[in-house]
Amino acid sequence: MAKKENTKVPGKRSNRAANLLELIAGIGIVLVLLVIGSYLRVRVDLTSEKRHTLTDATKELVRDLEDIVYVKVYLSGDLPADLQRLAQATRDLLDEMRVYQAEHIQYTFIDPSASADEKTRNDVYQQLQDQGLSYSSLTFGGKGAHTELIIFPGALITYREKTVPVQLLRSQYGASDPEIINRSVNNLEYEFSSAIRQAISTRKSKVAFLEGHGELPPMLVMDATTVLGEQYEVSRVRIDGRIDALSKRVDGMKYRANEYDALIIAKPDSTFSQQDRYVVDQFVMNGGKVLWLLDAMNPYLDSLRVKQFSMALPRDLGLDNQLAAYGVRVNKDLVLDMSCAPIEIMTEPYGGQRKRELLPWYFEPILVPQSNHPIVANIDPVHTRFVSSLDTLGSDEIRKTVLLTTSPYSRSMRNPVRISLNITKMEMGFERNSTPYMPVAVLLEGPFTSAFIDRLPADFTNDPEVGYREQGTKTAQLVISDGDVIENRIDPAKGVYFPLGWDRYSNAKRYGNREFIINAMNYLLDDQGLISIRSRAISLRLLDSKRIEDERRYWQVVNTVVPILLSLLAGLLFHLLRVRANRAPATGKA
């Protein structure tokens, strides 16, 4: 009888051992990576605008927090898709802040309309309004249906005993809903950083509007006063020849100390006395910041309304030599610009009736920022009225930066200038005769020299109480050759004012005057962190709604069927490779 021999498949047991060893090694590697990952946080922002990366200023702000900042965000519940995107962007921003200070940044999302009881909801709404939040009404639509939603898109930031409201939805009239949301997402970091700064700040910089020379009254600068008041301590001051109007004498100090950090001179219409000019000069020498908003020409608008024309003549403000000493000259001219706001006038009768028409009013240039300087980066065009051109003068120590210019199609008219409504019907020929890009806003930075050097008696300059300073410390001034940039429109009958940049014809805010003023003051007062945050831009990448509607069925099929087919194909390919790998010839001995 033949004896049966045992047969074995060569390598089978060794393959199993190798596979088991690979499995154990793989699990070990995963565990090691998980342990390392728990201690090492690697984050990569692949967006082109680095939208998920905080600016250095915000990182420093969050790292320096000494106590808990508690944020209540009122963006929760059944929200439209665009508002959900705003809510998610808010959550992402707060999570990003927690990366740098997790224990001091806490937040919660609240639905103010969560209660089923109408009285309770109304009480919550009133409480939020009392705390400084505003509700918004947005219209969302699709396929002919529109829905109006009342929401409170804001947050309350509490630090210790202080609570600061933050409005997250920044509406802009005339913009579509996605554009509004994108603008709001773009401003989130600025809004939260600014609010946290306000909450933790123990001292606000002091800003004063100058009075006594026909400057704009409080009501005409109320919008600027209000928005600046959110960050600074804003007041009004008169000099009246007093040497101590803007500064004080401090024992042990050679020079006087300023009482204010910044001064706003908004559209004066009368001459500054020598005493007042000296007080402003020494305010600058001692490091004070000045925002000059000057009208070099008087257009005499009352005559224009009555006679349909007027003659614009130079204003004698007495500031020409002083500004020249600082490095700039406001020319006695008026700028005409093809890029301008309209004016509504009565046209000739047609069909027995006269009608109102909007025609280009070349004396109201619309200035589109060309510079990438943080003061004007990413702001809307700035609206001006009867603006003059500027020239920069010598002095190598002073850095001069042109922030706003006219368009390529503009020219100036020297005084006296005839202003007539008939200009709306004239062919101006800007294409043939233009002086492009004339400066109208110039930033001056550096150590300024006093405009009164060698002009004062020795007994005055040597008086310790006077504390005259010939060479100033490094500071900054911004000269704008138009006082109307900061003037808000008002309704005298109702006693209300409109926001800066309000367009009376479209009944909407269209221009970037408010943002320009805020940025200018942030920069002058060295709030570089806020400036760097505000100057960021996030591009809006909208889907083509018409293409979505036309190709809806196609993309539904592609998104549903293609992943299934790819999965089946991948499974079949894996199965074939596995069968091929495991197929081996049987060997043995009989």
Put simply, whether the predicted model's pTM sits higher than 0.85 gets the answer no
Q: Tell me which of 501, 534, 567 is where a domain ends.
A: 534
Number of domains in the chain: 2
Q: Tell me which of 198, 232, 250 is where a domain ends.
A: 198
- Give yes or no: residues 219 and 275 share one domain: yes
Dihedral, 297, 302, 305, 308 alpha carbons, nearest 10: -60
Please count the other Cβ atoms lying within 10 Å of the Cβ belonging to residue 474.
10
Residue 583 lies inside a defined structural domain of this protein: no
Instruction: Work out the pLDDT band at 90, boundaries 50, 70, 90.
Output: very high
- Give yes or no: residues 306 and 368 share one domain: yes
- Give yes or no: residues 194 and 211 share one domain: no
The pLDDT of residue 207 is above 90 = yes
- Give yes or no: residues 348 and 475 share one domain: yes
Residue 173 lies inside a defined structural domain of this protein: yes
* Dist CA 315 CA 270 (whole Å): 8
Residue 84 lies inside a defined structural domain of this protein: yes
Q: Tell me which of 158, 176, 198 is where a domain ends.
A: 198
Average pLDDT of the segment spanning 139-146: 58
The pLDDT of residue 174 is above 50 = no
- Give yes or no: residues 299 and 397 share one domain: yes
Average pLDDT of the segment spanning 451-471: 91
Instruction: Work out the pLDDT band at 590, boundaries 50, 70, 90.
Output: very low
- Give yes or no: residues 91 and 228 share one domain: no
Instruction: Work out the pLDDT band at 143, boundaries 50, 70, 90.
Output: low
The pLDDT of residue 383 is above 80 = yes
- Give yes or no: residues 236 and 323 share one domain: yes
Where are the alpha helices (H) located in 201-261, listed in sequence order? 222-229
- Give yes or no: residues 244 and 138 share one domain: no
The 10s digit of each residue's pLDDT in 312-363 is: 999 999 999 999 999 999 999 999 999 999 988 876 655 556 677 888 999 9
- Give yes or no: residues 411 and 526 share one domain: yes
DSSP 3-state assignment of 360? Answer: strand
pLDDT at 173: 42
pLDDT at 521: 93
Average pLDDT of the segment spanning 82-110: 90
- Give yes or no: residues 366 and 486 share one domain: yes
The 10s digit of each residue's pLDDT in 574-585 is: 778 777 777 655
In terms of average pLDDT, the best of 163-167, 221-225, 367-371 is 221-225
CATH of the domain at 288: 3.40.50
The pLDDT of residue 472 is above 70 = yes
pLDDT at 105: 93
Mean pLDDT across the chain, nearest whole number?
A: 84
Strand partners, 439: 405
SS3 content of the chain, % helix, strand, coil (to 5): 35, 25, 40
- Give yes or no: residues 176 and 233 share one domain: no
Domain encompassing residue 466: 205-534
Residue 483 lies inside a defined structural domain of this protein: yes
- Give yes or no: residues 380 and 432 share one domain: yes
